[in-house]
Chains A and B, each alone.
Chain A
Amino acid sequence: EDKVVQSPLSLVVHEGDTVTLNCSYEVTNFRSLLWYKQEKKAPTFLFMLTSSGIEKKSGRLSSILDKKELSSILNITATQTGDSAIYLCAVRGGIQGAQKLVFGQGTRLTINP
Chain B
Amino acid sequence: EAGVTQFPSHSVIEKGQTVTLRCDPISGHDNLYWYRRVMGKEIKFLLHFVKESKQDESGMPNNRFLAERTGGTYSTLKVQPAELEDSGVYFCASSQEKQPNYGYTFGSGTRLTVV
Q: Which residue numbers of A lie inside 8 Å of B, CB to CB? A: 4, 31-32, 34, 36, 41-48, 50, 88, 90, 97-106
A31 to B100, CA, bound (A): 11
Residues in A neighbouring B69, C-beta threshold 8 A: none
**Which of B56, B91, B107 lies in contact with A99, CB distance below 8 A?**
B56
Residues in A neighbouring B107, C-beta threshold 8 A: 42
Do A103 and B103 contact each other (CB < 8 Å), given the known contacts A41-B108, A41-B109, A42-B3? no
Some 16 contacts from A to B, beta carbons below 8 A apart, are A32-B101, A36-B103, A41-B108, A42-B106, A42-B108, A45-B103, A45-B104, A45-B105, A47-B103, A48-B101, A50-B101, A99-B33, A99-B56, A101-B33, A104-B42, A105-B41
Instruction: Report how many A-B pairs have Cβ atoms within 8 Å.
Output: 60
Residues in B neighbouring A100, C-beta threshold 8 A: 33, 45, 48, 56, 58-59
What's the minimum C-beta distance from B54 to chain A, rounded to whole angstroms? 12
A100-B58, A103-B35 are known; give 18 further A-B pairs, CB within 8 A. A36-B103, A41-B109, A42-B3, A42-B91, A42-B106, A42-B107, A42-B108, A43-B43, A43-B106, A47-B103, A88-B43, A99-B55, A99-B100, A100-B45, A100-B59, A101-B33, A101-B45, A105-B42
